[in-house]
Amino acid sequence: MSPARPPLEGVTVVSLEQAVAAPFATRQLADLGARVIKVERPGGGDFARRYDETVHGQSSHFVWLNRSKDSVTLDVKTPGGREVLERLLSGADVFVQNLAPGAAARLGLSARELAERHPSLIVCDISGYGGDGPWADRKAYDLLVQCETGVVSVTGTPEAPAKVGIAVADIAAGMYAYSGILTALYERRVTGVARAVEVSLFEALAEWMGYPAYYTAYSGRQPERVGAAHATIAPYGPYTAADGETVLLAVQNEREWAALCAEFLGDATLADDPRFHRNSARVARRAELDAIVAARFAELDADAALALLDRAKVANARLNTVSGLLDHPVLAGRDRWRDVATPGGPVRALLPPATLDGIEPRMDPVPAVGEHTDAVLAELGYDGAAVRALREAGAV
């Protein structure tokens, strides 16, 4: 049986996008079959193309975020570029932008103005701190948002805070933009109304800070930084085995605590010890408890420790590396890798995490800058002479 029709086939997305947040949202729409027309600056294109040159001479960020898209170069500040963009929008279902604060409004591309010209168009604005409010004009980059939302204050060791090692604010905003656009498409189909979607990096990551926020608001103190351990659950974190490998365990409830004591620590009486009889007590005496657990790990190599933890049905993991992820048996065993073409050569890419039964996601090439400009202009009715005129004017 051939794969079913992709669920977003027939949906056209035009995106004035750069960096991470908007490209992540639109790539996921492309994965589901949407046609994503990525509008880039003539010349260099999306500046994320030049973050590094590690993937066959291309940026690792760009290759990750931009497969299955059509790249069209437009200078939307020129009359010719604006005309092309308007023609694109007249046939689009979704418009996404994450330009600098105020830039879309200056170009006449605010959600309100676009709704007047294109009433069926779903507009998604991604910003740092929202389209209005006291910080609407403030620049926002991932690390800055991690700091402003308090993420950095709860990440790291007691001695030093640390940022999350991936662009978590951008990724959060991209995920909410993606789900918001899907919701708006559903709403338009049901009611006929095209509703604008607005997502800010700050509010997306603030949502992800929900547990520390509640803990702080109702305890009067924020969770401590405890490295790779859990700030409010114990034992939960990394321990060094006798062979030097790091193993993590996670105790989530009293049943697992009792099993850890009996099966792994070899002392069932610890489960009812007043020092450790409930999670809050274990957290309060974390150092004392960690010393007991660490002493047991020092007697076992990693394989033996993991086997004992498995027997006790206590969740565990090795401290893996990125190379270890690339060769992970789960990804290989579930056939999660596909080859994707790029201008510099083929790369391995992971299938989207959400698997739809019977649907094969799009895994089409990563485009070169402006690779599809001429083809898209021809679709819009521009003949060869008109295209040459646009190029001479610097519009494309």
Please indicate whether the domains covering 12-209+338-392 and 236-318 agree at the CATH topology level: no
Exposed/middle/buried for residue 327 (C-beta within 10 Å: 0-12, 13-18, 19+): exposed
Q: What CA–CA distance (Å, rounded) separates 21 from 46?
A: 13
- CATH no. for 236-318: 3.30.1540.10
CATH architecture, domain defined by 12-209+338-392 = 3-Layer(aba) Sandwich (3.40)
Q: What CA–CA distance (Å, rounded) separates 314 from 312?
A: 5
The tens-digit pLDDT sequence of the chain (396 residues) is: 566 899 999 999 999 999 999 999 999 999 999 999 999 999 999 999 999 999 999 999 999 999 999 999 999 999 999 999 999 999 999 999 999 999 999 999 999 999 999 999 999 999 999 999 999 999 999 999 999 999 999 999 999 999 999 999 999 999 999 999 999 999 999 999 999 999 999 999 999 999 999 999 999 999 999 999 999 999 999 999 999 999 999 999 999 999 999 999 999 999 999 999 999 999 999 999 999 999 999 999 999 999 999 999 999 999 999 999 999 999 999 999 999 999 999 999 999 999 999 999 999 999 999 999 999 999 999 999 999 999 999 999
Exposed/middle/buried for residue 82 (C-beta within 10 Å: 0-12, 13-18, 19+): middle
Q: What CA–CA distance (Å, rounded) separates 209 from 187?
A: 29
HEC string of the chain equals CCCCCCCCCCCEEEEECCCCHHHHHHHHHHHCCCEEEEEECCCCCCHHHHCCCCECCECHHHHHHCCCEEEEECCCCCHHHHHHHHHHHHCCCEEEECCCCCHHHHCCCCHHHHHHHCCCCEEEEEECCCCCCCCCCCCCCHHHHHHHCCCHHHCECCCCECCCCCCHHHHHHHHHHHHHHHHHHHHHHHHCCCCCEEEEHHHHHHHHCHHHHHHHHHHCCCCCCCCCCCCCCCCEEEEECCCCCEEEEECCCHHHHHHHHHHHCCCHHHHHCCCCCCHHHHHHCHHHHHHHHHHHHCCCCHHHHHHHHHHCCCEEEECCCHHHHHCCHHHHHCCCEEEECCCCCCEEEECCCCCCCCCCCCCCCCCCCCCCHHHHHHHCCCCHHHHHHHHHCCCC
The sign of the CA dihedral 67, 68, 69, 70 is positive
pLDDT in tens, 56-73: 999 999 999 999 999 999
For the chain, the structural domain boundaries read: 12-209+338-392, 236-318
Give yes or no for a contact between 245 and 302, defined as CB atoms under 8 angstroms apart: yes
